[in-house]
Amino acid sequence: MTPTSDFLHKAERVIRHTLEGLRPRLLETQGNIEHRLKDDKTAVTEMDLLVEDRLRQSLAAFDKRIGFGGEESGVDLEQPTFWLVDPIDGTEPFIRGMPFATNMIALIHHGEPILSVIYNFVLDDYYVAIKGEGATCNGHTIHVSSRGMGRAWVTIGTASGESGVEGLYDRISTTVNAVRRYGASGFEYTQIASGALEARITFHGHGFAWDFAPGALLVQEAGGRAANIGATSYDFRNLNHIVANSTTFEELMAFMNTVRADQ
């Protein structure tokens, strides 16, 4: 199947209805919920499982032809068309009662995100992007900033001990205004798309495709750019990437290409 614009808008409404129905329970348990550590040492709560299951059910009822994959149940990234779900991105902030956790969903069609929803259920900010149709927050068009490197706030996702990571924060800090970190990539992407932050660099970092694909499309549709480090295009299966406003993108890519070459 080839999803039409009408199909995507109808799917988005199904997602919104599902997530808004879950919001009271998410708010009730935020900062007040038990958790366990998975094999990869990341945290999971009963709400991660509940949100993913409810999305699976509602999207299957909407159109059972489309595949489904999520953080908690596993995913086949080679499916032709499928939903890619991070039920709670930023589970640690969610457990700690911080307002950075989001629900993230992308529709992947032939290896490309074409619909993205990111819902900050704490702030009740609902972000949508449809490929070729722009990006919105609560129905209002959003756009990346035009700030350059000297004014840029940039976030970085890395894992300690990986090649090229040591000293990266100090190196990038000399070229931008500030390096920030919120512990939730979905939140960071919404802030780039809205113009509050300028860029995110993911380099040998924590996370998987569901952590990044929805946000990359959101930023692109808000006028920004996304590409894998060392490439000119974005493949959501390659986790090393830069997502940024158009003003800082080229300089950040040149910087990270140098870092990559020094490995």
pLDDT by position in tens, the chain (length 263)? 889 999 999 999 999 999 999 999 999 999 999 999 988 888 899 999 999 999 999 999 999 999 999 999 999 999 999 999 999 999 999 999 999 999 999 999 999 999 999 999 999 999 999 999 999 999 999 999 999 999 999 999 998 767 778 889 999 999 999 999 999 999 999 999 999 999 999 998 888 999 999 999 999 999 999 999 999 999 999 999 999 999 999 999 999 999 888 76
State whether residue 120 is helix, strand or coil. strand
CATH of domain 149-261: 3.40.190.80
The total number of residues shown for the chain amounts to 263
* Interior/surface letters 96-110, b for 16+ CB within 10 angstroms, e for the rest: eebbbbbbbbbbbbe
pLDDT at position 241, please? 97
Residues of the chain with CATH 3.40.190.80: 149-261
β-strand pairing of 225-228 with 241-244: antiparallel
- What is the DSSP code (8-state) at residue 125? E
Q: Which residues contact 54 (CB under 8 A, 6 or more apart)?
A: 18, 21, 22
pLDDT at position 128, please? 98
Q: At residue 260, what is the residue type?
A: R
Residue 29 exposed, middle or buried by CB count within 10 Å (0-12, 13-18, 19+): middle
Percent over 70 (pLDDT), the chain: 99
Residues of the chain with CATH 3.30.540.10: 5-141
Q: How far apart are CA 164 and CA 148, in angstroms?
A: 25
For the chain, the C-alpha Rg in angstroms (whole number) is: 17
Q: How far is CA 7 from CA 11, 62, 173, 215, 241, in A?
A: 6, 10, 44, 21, 29
- Provide the mean pLDDT of the chain: 95
Topology at the third CATH level for domain 5-141: Fructose-1,6-Bisphosphatase; Chain A, domain 1 (3.30.540)
pLDDT at position 52, please? 98
Entry pTM: 0.96
